[in-house]
Every structure is written in structure tokens, then in C-alpha cells.
């Protein structure tokens, strides 16, 4: 079973859509997931929970996005993926749930914006 942590702050507009996306992909792949929602309320929480912007998705403790895995700029900021509607593309989610790297054709990377939602 894969453990998926959604790290977010109150009011994040992409929290629920990314949860639905990950659950949909997991269901399609028949991969059981244990979902945990971690709400952060301060910069200290953001650092402790490794929030690279809300929402951050960790699959078995590893960031969903390969390009973000070495980042340490944890903060109370918004995270916008370059996939549809600011979410990661399905390929990135599929690869993360399978424990693989996304295909090289995926150009999705995130950007962070301070105070965009809070």
C-alpha cells in the first residue's frame, strides 16, 4: 500500500482537486493508497512538514515531482503545477504511485507564489 501525504494550508484551491486526481489514478492502476491530510498553519509547520508550497504531495515520503525532490525552500506559499488547471499531469501521478520516474516528455514543474491564497 502506498502512503500519500497531502501537505496544504487552509484555503488552498488545489488541495481537493489534487486529492481527487491522485485517488482517480490510484483507482485506475488498482494501487491501494493510504491518504493523510496534513494542514500547516505556520512557517514552522511548513518547514517541519516539508511544504514546498500548497499542495505538496508526498508518496511514501518522496515528493510527487522529481524536479522538486532536492528543494528545501519550505514555506507557506502556493504550489502551482504546470499541468492542467495548475495540477500535476496524470503521467507524473502515475509514475509516483508506481515508484518510477515520469517519461522525459513530461515538462511539468512547479512554481511557488507567496501569499497567493492565504
Q: What is the mean pLDDT of each run of 10 residues along the chain (118 residues)?
A: 97 97 98 98 96 97 94 95 92 96 57 58
Contacts 24+ apart (CB under 8 A), 13-20: 13/117, 14/54, 14/55, 14/78, 14/79, 14/80, 14/85, 14/86, 14/87, 15/54, 15/55, 17/85, 17/87, 18/55, 18/57, 18/87, 18/88
pTM greater than 0.85 = yes
Question: How big is the CA angle at 39 (ends 21 and 30), to the nearest 5 degrees?
Answer: 30
One CATH from 3.30.310.10, 1.20.120.530, 3.40.30.10, 3.40.50.1000 for 2-114:
3.40.30.10
Q: What is the pLDDT of residue 105?
A: 43
Q: Residues for the chain: how many in total?
A: 118
Domain extents for the chain? 2-114
Q: What is the pLDDT of residue 113?
A: 60
Amino acid at each position: 500500500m502506498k502512503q500519500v501525504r497531502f501537505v496544504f494550508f487552509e484555503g488552498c484551491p488545489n488541495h481537493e482537486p489534487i486529492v481527487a486526481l491522485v485517488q482517480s489514478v490510484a483507482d485506475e492502476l488498482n494501487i491501494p493508497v493510504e491518504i493523510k491530510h496534513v494542514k500547516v498553519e505556520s512557517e514552522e509547520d511548513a518547514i517541519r512538514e516539508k511544504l514546498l508550497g500548497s499542495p505538496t504531495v508526498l508518496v511514501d515520503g518522496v515528493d510527487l515531482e522529481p524536479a522538486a525532490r532536492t528543494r528545501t525552500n519550505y514555506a507557506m506559499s502556493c504550489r502551482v503545477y504546470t499541468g492542467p488547471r495548475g495540477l500535476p499531469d496524470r503521467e507524473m501521478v502515475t509514475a509516483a504511485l508506481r515508484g518510477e520516474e515520469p517519461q522525459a516528455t513530461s515538462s511539468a514543474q512547479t512554481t511557488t507564489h507567496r501569499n497567493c491564497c492565504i
